[in-house]
Every structure is written in C-alpha cells, then in structure tokens.
Amino acid sequence: MRVLTAIPFIVAALLASLSARADEKSVPEKPLAEKYLLEGQLTEGAAALTKRLQESPRDDEARFGLGVTQFLQTFAHVGQSMYRYGLRTERSFVRPVPQIRELLPQNPHPEKIDYAAARKIVQTFVDDLNRAEATLAEIKDEQVKLRLHVALIKIDLFGLNRPVNAAQLFRQFGPQQDLNVKQLQDFYIAFDRGDVCWLRGYCHFLAAWGEVLLSVDSKSLFECSAHWVFEEVDTPNTFLIEDRSPIDAEQGPIWWLNNKRLSDAIATFHLILRLPMKEPQRMKVAHGHLLAMCKMSKEMWTHYEAETDDDHEWIPNPRQTGVVGVRVTKEMERSWLETVDEAEKVLEGKRLIPFWRGNQSDRGVNLKRVFYEPTDIDIPLWIQGTAATPYLEKGPLTKLAEPEVWRQMDRTFGGLNFVGFGFWFN
C-alpha cells in the first residue's frame, strides 16, 4: 500500500540527507509528543496528549502530535495482530532473511485466525486511520509546528516490548552502516500546517483501500490460502494444514515446484482474480476518501505557498530548501497540481478513462460509476473489456491518457521518477 510506502521513502530521504546537516544544532525544546515517540510509548503518548488537549483545547501542536501518534498506532496495531495470530516468519511460504526473523520471531502460541478475525484487522486499520484524520482535521493554527527527530521515533511493531526506530532498521537493512549517532540525534523535520494536509491525504488514501478490501467477499480466498501466511487457521480445508511442511526443510533452487505448494499458488491466484461484491456501500465510502485525498493534496500546496521561512521543511515550496535536498520548482508544483486536478475530474466522472476496445475514440469508462454501481471484481473480464460495459459512456477523455502529457511531466521533473514524487507529494 502506498503507505506503508511513504514510511520507507521518508526514512531513506532523511538518512541520506543527514551528512549535509551534521553541523546543525538540535531543537532546544521538544514537543510533548516526541517525549513518547522516542520511547515507543504510543499508547501512553496518545493518552497524555489527549489529556493536554482537554486542559488546553487550542494547543494545535499537541493536536498535531496526537494525530501523528494515532497514525503510527495504525501500523502498530496491524503488526501486533499479525503476531497474535502467528504470522509465519520462521515456517513461511517465503524465505525471510535472518534480520526479519530476529525482528519478528514467530509466535510459539498463536491464536487461531478465522475469516471474521482477518476482516476485523482490516476494519481496525480503517478505524485507526479515520481517527487520526479526524484529529488532524481539527488543527486550525496556520503557524503550527511539530519538530520531530523522525529517525529516532520508535514503534513496537509487534507488541513484543521491543520498540525499534528507523535508524536501527536502516543500520540493519540499509547500505549505510556507519551512521553517526550525533547526526541522528540532531537531525529533525519541522512539520508545519501544509504537512497536516499531507498526512490527512495519506490517511484518506489508505482508508480508501481498506474500504475496498472490506467491500468484497474474500472468504473463499482466505480459507484457501491463509495457511500460507498464518500458523493456526480456522478453515474447512483442514488437509491444507495437515500436510504443510516448513519451507526451510526443503533445499535447492526449485523449492517452490513442490506439487502442493504450486497448486496452492494457482488456486490463490485464481481466487484473487474474481472477488464477489459483498458490501457495495463501502465502495462509495472509498470513493469519498479518494476525493478527500485530492482535496488535501491541493490544500497543502496553498499552505506551502504561504510560507516565508525555511525551517527544516519536509516538502519545500520553490523558495525553500527542504531536508530531502531535492529542489521543487514552480513548474513542478504547477504540473503536480494539474495532475491532481485531472485525477479529481476522473473520480467525479467529469473525465472518462479511455476504453481499449472498439473503434469509438470518444468512448470511455466512468470511474465514479464503478464506485457507485459496483459489481463483482473480475480482473480477466476487465482485461477483456466486457466488465467495463456497464460503465461505458461517450464524453471528454482524461488528459492523463495523452502521451504528450507524460512527456511534459518527464521534462518538468528533469527525468526524475514521477512516481517517487507522487509518493512524496501525496
């Protein structure tokens, strides 16, 4: 998920820029949120920040810190559920590297997971994101700042009372093995009002995908394939567990050609390609989240453009430097906002996605109706084209399908990875 996608991107960018900022002084006064974030005490931090807001309702720095803490709790709760239900890290369907096993040892006494419990994990994920977004939405102070030593923030990913921070993970998995401790201690980002919208946008994006997952009936998929992922699974197909052997017991480069494992992979792939629609109303909710994400992406640039300082910016305007060290030009900003505006029109059904079959060049797919009139998700029929039939209309097609638009974006971003900028800009 794109998020989960944002966190590695942030970590890599921060640590890559540490040497350039090695001589800077640390922030003289730490916000209340950081006191708990640096110790990995997310639950305690959320409680303390909630209490602070009850005492000082206008303290938007505390509110910003609470929103960040709640956002991080979202992923901690997912990881803790994975451990609770015995995620197979030592006897799994893949070969995890030793560092992963050290970070997440397999639960020796897991609870049995069933389909209802699996859906509850996703529902909790969505609820946590909505809670964080609602907290951030209450921030009104245009001058709000939240200075955080991001690389030192700890998260107890799996509820084992072993919180780790990004710097520790990067030392273990990344190419830079000799990071200076003082650099890590001194380096920080001053998140500001625009970054509030940035984080709200990510909350909406991730919640949208959670709602899509919950909209379909994936019980058959779970009962067919969950034994790959979890140690104890409540499935009517008990034989799948009875003859399951640890992959580490098998040797050689073609371990995956085991007949049972290959048949499992084929069956799983088959079921993923067609998922029955179970709760269609969730697709409308997902659509609302995606529109809200576009709104946040545009609003955050309004705040960035109003800034006149240059204080350890996460995303700088064209007049600022920023901690990542990548200059953002006015043309980049304009091009990005035009892309967001066009994506918003596609979501609203004002622009159509070009249809890839037939000879009518003014015919396209109305994406809004895909969300508002959902049917079973059938990937082969979408590839063939017949699944798109109910949503075909004649009208203006999106500019995002025009090759010249993409060539222009490539020129604007100087040959840099536009997708990478998308993750950064939200």
φ, ψ of residue 353 in degrees (nearest 5): -85, 125
Quick one: angle between helices 115-137 and 193-215, nearest 10? Answer: 160
pLDDT at 22: 44
**Pick the residue with more confidence: 412 or 348?**
348
pLDDT of residue 186 exceeding 90, the answer is no
Write out pLDDT tens, residues 21-64. 544 554 457 899 999 999 999 999 999 999 999 999 999 999 99
> Residue 255 to residues 95, 211, 252, 299: CA-CA distances in angstroms?
10, 36, 6, 51
In the structure, what pLDDT confidence band is assigned to residue 222 with cuts at 50, 70 and 90?
Answer: very high
Q: How many residues are present in the chain?
A: 426
> Residue 160 to residues 143, 154, 346: CA-CA distances in angstroms?
38, 13, 44
pLDDT at 285: 98
Handedness of CA 364, 369, 371, 374 (dihedral sign): negative
Give the start-to-end residue ranges of the domains of the chain: 2-275, 302-425
Q: Name the 3-class secondary structure at 423.
A: helix
> Residue 53 to residues 49, 256, 344: CA-CA distances in angstroms?
6, 54, 35
pLDDT of residue 248 exceeding 60, the answer is no
Q: Which residues pair with 146 in a beta bridge?
A: 191
pLDDT of residue 3 exceeding 70, the answer is no
Write out pLDDT tens, residues 336-382. 999 999 999 999 999 999 999 999 989 999 999 999 999 999 999 99
